[in-house]
Each structure stands twice: as C-alpha cells, then as structure tokens.
C-alpha cells in the first residue's frame, strides 16, 4: 500500500505542476496571437496610403488575417478551453492534497493498513471525475514542459518527503 499511495502522490503532483506550466504557456500564446492579430489588422488600416498602389498585397494580407481568425480556435485553445484546463488543474491539486494528507497520516502511523487501504480506494473513486475531464480536454504532451514539471516535482518531494 505504501508504494501505491506514493506513486499516486507523485503522479498527481507532477500532473498539477505540468498543468500550471501548460496553462501559462497557453495564456502567453493566446495573448501573443491576439496581439499580432491586432497589430496586423491595424497596420493594414493605418498604412492604406502605402498600399494604395499594391491592391493585391493589401487583399492578400487581409485574406490571411481573416483566414487566421477563422482557424485560430482550431490551432490555439479558446478562452473556454483554457478555463476548463484551469478547472482540471484545481481538481488535480485538490486530489493530490488529499493523497498527500493520507500519505503523511500513514507514514506517521496515525492510521493502520486497513484504514489506509479503504481511504485510498475511496479517493481513487474521486479521481474518476478528473480522468474523464482530462480525457475530454486532450491536453498535449510537451516534452520541455514535462521536463520542467519533473524538476519542480522532484524538488518538492526532496524538500518535503
């Protein structure tokens, strides 16, 4: 039971750390693309005198901006998607917190094996909701973020466990 709780603790701590990094990256990407879209749109408006003699270029830029706007939500998660990922991150954190509490109680011999086993499997039932949302959101695995999350998780575990 000792290993089961430990691996559950590590798994959800790592997931929480990864989702924090992932959310930050999504928010930064969303802001950047919105800013670039505004810049390109306003550039076309404010420099119309410069483009007066090049209508094909003006039309092409306008078409590209419009095309980007149409496919933007297919390439970059929407604000609603980001909100759902934030909810998932909160669920990971809450679950991980409960598992950590169980781990500490078990390691300090405040509860015996039978009680731990029952509590652990009760917690696992709660995790089903997390897994459903996680599957629904199709969160990408980004190796660089995984590596950063590994470091953060390992540092936390070394410091506190």
Select the more confidently predicted residue: 55 or 126: 126
Determine the pLDDT at residue 46: 56
Token look-up 């934030």 returns 86
For residue 139, which phi and psi values (nearest 5 degrees)?
A: -75, 130
CA dist list (Å): 134 to 79, 82, 105: 17, 13, 28
What tens digit of pLDDT does each residue of 11-55 get? 999 999 999 999 999 999 888 877 877 776 666 555 556 556 566
Q: Is the dihedral of CA 130, 135, 139, 143 positive or negative?
A: positive
Helix axes 113-137, 79-107, angle to 10 degrees: 170
C-alpha 136/C-alpha 155 separation (Å) is 30
Token look-up 């011999």 returns 109
Determine the pLDDT at residue 11: 94
- Span of 43-47, 83-87, 115-119, 129-133 with lowest mean pLDDT: 43-47
């Amino acid at each position: 039971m000792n290993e089961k709780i430990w691996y559950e603790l590590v798994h959800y701590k790592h997931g929480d750390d990864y989702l924090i990094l992932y959310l930050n990256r999504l928010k930064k990407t969303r802001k950047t693309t919105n800013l670039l879209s505004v810049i390109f749109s306003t550039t076309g408006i404010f420099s119309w005198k410069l483009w007066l003699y090049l209508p094909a270029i003006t039309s092409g830029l306008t078409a590209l901006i419009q095309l980007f706007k149409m496919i933007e939500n297919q390439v970059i998660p929407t604000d609603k998607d980001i909100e759902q990922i934030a909810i998932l991150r909160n669920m990971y954190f809450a679950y991980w917190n409960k598992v950590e509490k169980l781990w500490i109680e078990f390691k300090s011999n405040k509860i015996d094996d039978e009680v731990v086993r029952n509590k652990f499997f009760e917690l696992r039932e709660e995790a089903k909701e997390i897994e459903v949302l996680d599957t629904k959101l199709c969160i990408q695995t980004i190796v660089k973020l995984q590596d950063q999350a590994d470091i953060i998780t390992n540092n936390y575990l070394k410091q506190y466990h």
